[in-house]
Amino acid sequence: TRTTKDWQAADASHHLHPFTDFKSLAGKGSRIITRADNIYLWDSEGHKLLDAMSGLWCVNVGYGRRELIDAATKQLETLPFYNSFFQTTTPPAIELAELLAQVTPPQFKHVFFSGSGSEGNDTIVRMVRRYWDLKGQPERSVIISRHNAYHGSTMAGASLGGMSGMHEQGGLPIPGIVHIEQPFWYESDRRLSRDEFGLKAARALEQKILEIGADKVAAFIGEPVQGAGGVIVPPATYWPEIQRICDRHGILLVSDEVICGFGRTGQWFGCETFGYRPDLMTFAKGVTSGYIPLGGVMVGERVAKVLIEEGGEFAHGYTYSGHPVACAVGIANIKLIQREGLVERVRTEIGPYLAETFAALAEHPLVGEVQTCGMMGALQLVKDKASGEMFDGKLEVGMVCRAHCFGNGLIMRAVGDRMIVAPPLVMTKAQIDEMAVLIRKCLDLTQQELKQ
- Chain residues binding ligand PLP by CB under 6 A are 56, 116-118, 121, 150-152, 223, 227-228, 256, 258-259, 284, 295
- CB 386 to ligand PLP: min, Å: 34
Contact 116, 284 (CB under 8 A): yes
Mapped onto helix, strand or coil, the DSSP state of residue 283 is strand
Contact 245, 238 (CB under 8 A): no
Contact 427, 39 (CB under 8 A): yes
- CB 318 to ligand PLP: min, Å: 12
Nearest to 350 by CA among 433, 427, 270: 427
Give the span between the Cα atoms of 296 and 282, in whole angstroms: 6
CB of 44 or CB of 118, closer to ligand PLP? 118
> Residue 32: which residues within 8 A CB-CB, separation 6 or more?
4, 7, 8, 11, 43, 44
- CB 77 to ligand PLP: min, Å: 27
Give the span between the Cα atoms of 339 and 267, in whole angstroms: 15
CB of 206 or CB of 256, closer to ligand PLP? 256
Give the span between the Cα atoms of 241 and 206, in whole angstroms: 10
- CB 59 to ligand PLP: min, Å: 13
CB of 206 or CB of 272, closer to ligand PLP? 272
CB of 223 or CB of 417, closer to ligand PLP? 223
CB of 166 or CB of 397, closer to ligand PLP? 166
Mapped onto helix, strand or coil, the DSSP state of residue 365 is coil
CB of 286 or CB of 368, closer to ligand PLP? 286
CB of 5 or CB of 15, closer to ligand PLP? 15
Termini Cα distance of the chain: 42
Give the span between the Cα atoms of 186 and 415, in whole angstroms: 14
- CB 117 to ligand PLP: min, Å: 2
At 368, which helix (H) or strand (E)? strand 367-372
Residue nearest to ligand PLP (CB): 117
Contact 401, 444 (CB under 8 A): no
- CB 153 to ligand PLP: min, Å: 6
- CB 134 to ligand PLP: min, Å: 26
